[in-house]
Chain A
Amino acid sequence: MELIVLAIKDILRRKGKSLYLLLAIVIPVAILSTILLTFDNADSSLSDLASKFGFTLIVQPKNVRVDKINQIGVNTSEYIPEGVIGEVEKVIREIITNPQDKIITIVRFYKEDDILTGKSNISSVVAGVDFKTELEAKPSWALTSGRWPKSEREAVLGGTYAGSRKISLDNTITIGGSEFTVVGILQNYNSSEDYMIFAPFAEVQKLFNKAGFVSVINIQNVSLDKDKKLLRTAIENINKNIPNITALSPQQFSTMKYALLKKALKFLIAIVTATIAVSIFSIFNIVTSVLYSRVKEIGLLKSVGASRSQLLLIFLSEYLTIGLIGGIIGYSAGLLMTYLLDFFLLNLGAGIRINLLYFLSALLVGIFCSFIASFYPTHRLSKIKITESFRTQWGG
């Protein structure tokens, strides 16, 4: 019989204690996996959204940082002069090889303001958009009811915005002191657009005294879409040649938008670290109590010829096996919790994906907790002399 088999037989014999140990490992691993998988899910969800809308690259004011992005994830305080649009297109044109390749530019103007809906003023984000260009670039953009605006004083509302404020078609809302008629309600896309008011671009610029300025420039281009290296070059050239702006890929943009969440991630990781520390302490206590109850067994094993390293191998194999199983169960529990969290609360809708890196991390965390917590008591007890271990037995 191999020493590992001895170790596994012992795990099976001490089912109760083994289950406690397993639980002490599963809990932190499950929490860690849930956090990582949820953030991965959120990232994927945003990337999916960006690619669904087909932006190749996004240009925004240079000093838009995380702290200037509002709670629904758009910049409503920094602007780019419209003249930059031509410069951006020129840089891209210089890079792409096919002169027939069309560059579609979609600009938006965002402003957060108190919007009068019915009798109450509510701070909301207004997006000035060119509906015709947007619809050309995003054929999937659709309304659940009504129609697209045809005149300057007509607006479309995000689905969640309209629903939460109980605004329906033909209601009037006041933006910047001017009344707009709601003519359409947008489909929900699980994005910031669900919480916005959309009105004609030039009209919104004028209302907020920002004629000639835009909040963001979104570019669509097939060549850049196909060739990631070319896209990187375009981004680098735009950032190098045009001052006061930042060009980003949708992926980078989503990363930036989620920077705040990533700060939260750091906080959550700190909580996980604390959980891991508590777990290690618990495992240490359990292992110590188990090993002290096994002192006579240690003496017996030594008396039949077990060396210290063989005892260490048996005991560490036991605890590392539990750590490994704890890692697998913890990751599986994390997958389940991520799914439930998404289903009942977050509705990110990206689908739960098994991430090999996170799976391996979960296994490593399980093994790490187990090893760190069990090494010292195992090391110490393996040093016990046979005579000491049998002191209570060898009575004469």
Chain B
Amino acid sequence: MDKTDSIFFLELRQVNKTFNLPSGEVTALDHISLTINKGELVALVGPSGSGKTTLLNIIGALDRPSKGEVILEGKRIDMLSEEALVIFRREKFSFIFQDAKPLRMLNVLENTLLPFNFFKPKNRNGNIKSEGIDIIKSLGLGHRLYHMPSQLSGGEIQRVAIARALITHPAMILADEPTANLDRNNRLFVIDTFRKLSKEKGIAIVFSTHDLEIANKADRIVHLKDGVFLKDEAVCCIPCPE
């Protein structure tokens, strides 16, 4: 069964995350409860240090909460072993990072297919390589298939990261400041692509951003400040800056 065929539902219940630093204990997330549904495009906004990244890490099972529960499709994932989480992440999530540099020794196509060096896709019909080529073409990089990362612009590099995220057919994409270093055209391209993917393929996408213009393209905006949940609102209620 394709990952996106399952009914995806992620829930965070009263999640706390504290870090023990030499200066003392720091609370990064304080009693956060949140649900994310299949095909939703969710923007996390807030100032630096508000806990956006920590929240993304916990949603994506990259980190464990200090307290609270993370439930995916009815199953607690915060209790899974590290080995189980590796398999779980492969099956459910893709990540896009702010400065997501592809591996320098691989070309665009090889970078896109990188995940399959580590696991074989389950129940996938068709040629993975030709699917990779199709994804790259759909992101406007058809002419860059065999180019090395050093030959690409910042916007093109981010598209490679999106292609790599899509090739595994994830149920959810988590993106941390995916548009931070891009010009306006590329920022809009990325967010439009996210929107299209969430609506057409049913992929839940959660991304963090400081950019309200980008955030306004999401279905929901979750506001955080100092690790505290401020508000969770549908975008239709927020006036668009434009």
Contacts and interface: CB of A to CB of B under 8 A. Distances in A.
Nearest to A12: B105
Interface stretch (A90-98, A302-310, A330-338): A302-310
A106 B99 CA distance: 86
B63 A385 contact: yes
Contacts, number: 84
A260 interface: no
Nearest to A304: B115
Given A2-B117, A304-B164, A385-B62, A395 B95 contact: no
Contact of A305 (B49, B52, B90, B103): B90
Nearest to B210: A396
B168 to A, nearest CB: 8
Among A13, A385, A395, residue most surrounded by chain B Cβ atoms (within 10 Å):
A395
A316 to B, nearest CB: 16
B46 A396 contact: yes
A104 interface: no
Nearest to B104: A13
B86 A305 contact: yes
B118 A304 contact: yes
A393 interface: yes
A396 B46 CA distance: 8
Contacts of B63: 385, 387
B106 A9 contact: yes
Contact of B118 (A306, A387, A393): A306
Nearest to A5: B117
A393 B104 CA distance: 17
B30 to A, nearest CB: 16
Nearest to A394: B53
Contact of B98 (A301, A385, A394): A394
B110 interface: yes
A2 B208 CA distance: 34
B56 A394 contact: yes
A152 interface: no
Contacts of B83: 307
A393 B99 contact: yes
Contact of A390 (B49, B51, B97, B164): B97
A354 interface: no
Contacts of B78: none
Contacts of A387: 57, 62-63
Interface residues of A, number: 27
B179 interface: no
A296 interface: yes
Interface string B154-191: 00000000001000100000001100000000000000
Contacts of A303: 62, 89, 95, 97
Interface string A380-396: 00000111001001111
Nearest to B164: A304
Contact of A395 (B48, B57, B94, B117): B48
Nearest to B100: A300
Nearest to B47: A396
Contacts of B86: 302, 305, 307
A386 B99 CA distance: 14
B114 interface: yes
A289 B231 CA distance: 44
B50 interface: yes
B146 interface: no
A297 B103 contact: yes
A300 B177 contact: no
Interface in A342-396: 385-387, 390, 393-396
Contacts of B89: 303, 305
B110 A395 contact: no
A6 interface: yes
A170 interface: no
B67 interface: no
B205 interface: no
Contacts of B218: none
B223 interface: no
Contacts of A393: 97-99, 176
Contacts of A1: 110, 113, 117
Contacts of B103: 297, 300
B101 interface: yes
A10 interface: yes
B101 A395 contact: no
18 contacts: A1-B110, A1-B113, A6-B105, A304-B94, A304-B95, A305-B89, A305-B118, A306-B118, A307-B118, A386-B95, A387-B57, A390-B97, A394-B56, A394-B97, A395-B177, A396-B46, A396-B48, A396-B51
Interface of A: 1-3, 6, 9-10, 12-13, 296-297, 300-307, 310, 385-387, 390, 393-396
Interface of B: 44, 46, 48-53, 56-57, 62-63, 83, 86, 89-90, 94-95, 97-101, 103-106, 110, 113-115, 117-119, 164, 168, 176-177, 208
Given A305-B115, A310-B118, A394-B53, 13 more contacts: A6-B105, A12-B105, A301-B114, A303-B97, A305-B118, A306-B117, A307-B118, A393-B97, A393-B176, A394-B98, A395-B48, A396-B44, A396-B208
